[in-house]
Structure 1
Amino acid sequence: MHYNLRKFDFIKLSRYFFLFSIAITVLGVITLAALGMNYGVDFRAGSSMDLAVQKNLQDQKEEIQSFLDEQNLGRYTLTVGAERVSIRFDDILTDQEEQQLKQGFADTFDPKASAEVYTVDVQMARELQTNAMMAVALASVGIIIYVSIRFEWRFAVAAIVALLHDAFIVISLFSILRLEVNLPFIVAVLTIIGYSINDTIVIFDRIRENMRFAKLKSKEDIAALVNESIWQTMTRSINTVATVFVTALCVFLFGGESIKLFSLAILFGLVSGAYSSIFIASPLWLVLKNKQKPKTPANTQTAG
């Protein structure tokens, strides 16, 4: 079976995509080493107060900051939305400080405001960090096992590299932009892994199906097959990503403050996942496939 290469050859240009991803990874490592992550209250000791307000206080952010400075409760991060005000304190508030802050906010800005306070101690923060890392690790191991059983180990290696690539890109972007990392961020990373492996599996499945009916005599034939398989699934991949991307974008633009960072992480991950599924996973599988030793014919018995 003959496969015609389209105008854009993914395999021929794969080295440039590999170099681009390596450069992004190195930049991410440098950024994480220099800046680290901006952990939210979920992953560090401190208190978080979320106030549901009955009037829009977005134009009074400076007044709220002045009010908080007067309270002398230590360092904090303030987010003011149309219906919610979120305050993240680096220190753990006492019961007296909580009541004083709630009453002072109600008297100064909104008497009908209702507040929820969430406190994390040092031990709990460490446990949450460990559990989050274990969740990502277990998801990756499960994917390796699934892909190895359904396909082969080369597909599994290519898939897991693409997944780690996607997760690391999102983590690096959050580090560079100094965006807050909390539990919804971990959920977003796991969601990204799910979408990314879905797109990758679709392409891998098409490669496997095409290999069943193709007569492959050289490495060039396999490269042409992989390139054609990517093109055959391109429309499906783009439509899937575009649909979810538009939804996540609407959530980011019109959703509440509490889920904005979650939807932003999804947006980053969708773009990275589509990129890795097309430009990283399949070409990487081809590299591993080309390193496979050719099968030798069985030895024939010679007459003595």
Structure 2
Amino acid sequence: MRFNWNYDYVKGSKIAYIFSIILTVAGIVSLLTFGLNYAVDFKSGSNVDITVSKAITTEQIDPIINDMGVKEGDVHITPGADRVNVRFSNVLDENQESKFKQEFSKLDSTASYEVNTVDPEMAKELERNAIYAVLIASIGIMIYVAIRFEWRFAVAAVVSIFHDAFVVISVFSIFRLEVNLTFITAVLTIVGFSINDTIVIFDRIRENLRFAKKTTKADLREVVNHSLAQTMTRSLNTTFTVFIASLCLFIFGGESIRMFSLAMVIGTFFGAYSSIFIAAPLWFTLKSKQSNKPKTAAKASN
């Protein structure tokens, strides 16, 4: 069954712009107010991941934490049926770690432990390197698009991928979801997915420009809308495939990749959305201003 994707996407982008601006403002307010809920990967402390043979509740673990002399606000417990995560804000020394394992073994003698510790300097370095990774990837993409197409395509592409990355970060900040190293991997993956979808659309726009009239703003609008209609089936099929795979990972995957898969679910949706309703219409806006310049100059000379 073939769908008719003919639609004025440029006109519809106005609503998308408003929605994205509202989401961006909400994200900025949340980041300034609450920041991100960093996992132990990005702040100093110890993270104890425990595989258990039976369900362990928070109430059962609380006495162990109290006996260790750790303040209640300095520890975060995530119980589960087969996995328990205990995150300490402070770095555990050998005696504290040994005492915790000894006391926990009374609850489950077959439990196995994985302890990850990050000191303050390492946490700052990881956070700094994560920011550099996203920025360098974005700059590289901008240079590539500018060389392959033109600067207007590059600007539109970078605005689009920054939008996708920031939306995911905003959602994690607003809902206080944990940000770890797998989250950074997800953001970079989303950037790659988004730019791939955007490049396909831009390539079709460039191809259609070769055979289309470019005398008026309406001609450019028709090229953009027609190009989006031609690539819509491909974009939605790719997005749906990645979305379903990410959703299955989120539902059935392990705890260690849960935040990665959730970020991918959110980013995949907004990656397709931004390619269609932000990147292409933004290029149209920039290009139409260039198209109007000769007319303005001609009027001025008369």
Say whether the fold is shared (TM-score over 0.5). Answer: yes
2:71 maps to 1:71: no
- Is contact 1:81-1:257 (8 Å) kept? no
Could you tell me how far 1:35 is from its partner in structure 2? Answer: 0.9
Counting matched residue pairs gives 289
Task: Report the secondary structure of 2:92's partner residue.
Answer: coil
CA distance in 2, matches of 1:197, 1:103: 50
Partner of 1:15: 14
Partner of 2:287: 289
Could you tell me how far 1:120 is from its partner in structure 2? Answer: 0.8
Partner of 2:166: 168
CA distance in 1, matches of 2:59, 2:236: 43
Could you tell me how far 1:9 is from its partner in structure 2? Answer: 1.1
Letter in structure 2 aligned against 1:24: L
Comparing 17-26 with 233-242, greater Cα deviation is found at 17-26
Partner of 2:37: 38
- Is contact 1:43-1:129 (8 Å) kept? yes
CA distance in 2, matches of 1:250, 1:158: 32
Give CA deviations for 1:69-123 in whole Å, capped at 9, x if unaligned: 4433231112223432111111111100001101111122x11111121111111
Task: Report the secondary structure of 2:268's partner residue.
Answer: helix
2:231 maps to 1:266: no
Q: 1:66 to 1:244 in 2, by over 3 A?
A: farther
Q: Considering only aligned residues, what root-mean-square deviation do their CA atoms show, in Å?
A: 1.7
Task: Report the secondary structure of 2:41's partner residue.
Answer: helix
Partner of 2:134: 136
Partner of 1:191: 189
CA distance in 2, matches of 1:135, 1:7: 38
Could you tell me how far 1:293 is from its partner in structure 2? Answer: 5.3
Letter in structure 2 aligned against 1:49: V
Could you tell me how far 1:292 is from its partner in structure 2? Answer: 1.2
- Where do residues 27-176 of structure 1 align in structure 2 (5 Å cutoff)? 27-53=26-52, 55-57=53-55, 60-74=57-71, 75-108=74-107, 110-176=108-174
Give CA deviations for 1:128-152 in whole Å, capped at 9, x if unaligned: 1110000001100110011111111
Could you tell me how far 1:63 is from its partner in structure 2? Answer: 2.0
Could you tell me how far 1:217 is from its partner in structure 2? Answer: 2.2
Question: Aligned match of 2:232 in 231, 234, 238?
Answer: 234
Could you tell me how far 1:66 is from its partner in structure 2? Answer: 4.3
Letter in structure 2 aligned against 1:193: V
CA distance in 1, matches of 2:192, 2:54: 37
State percent identity of aligned pairs.
55
Scaled by the length of structure 2, the TM-score of the pair is: 0.91
CA distance in 2, matches of 1:6, 1:266: 26
CA distance in 2, matches of 1:194, 1:82: 35
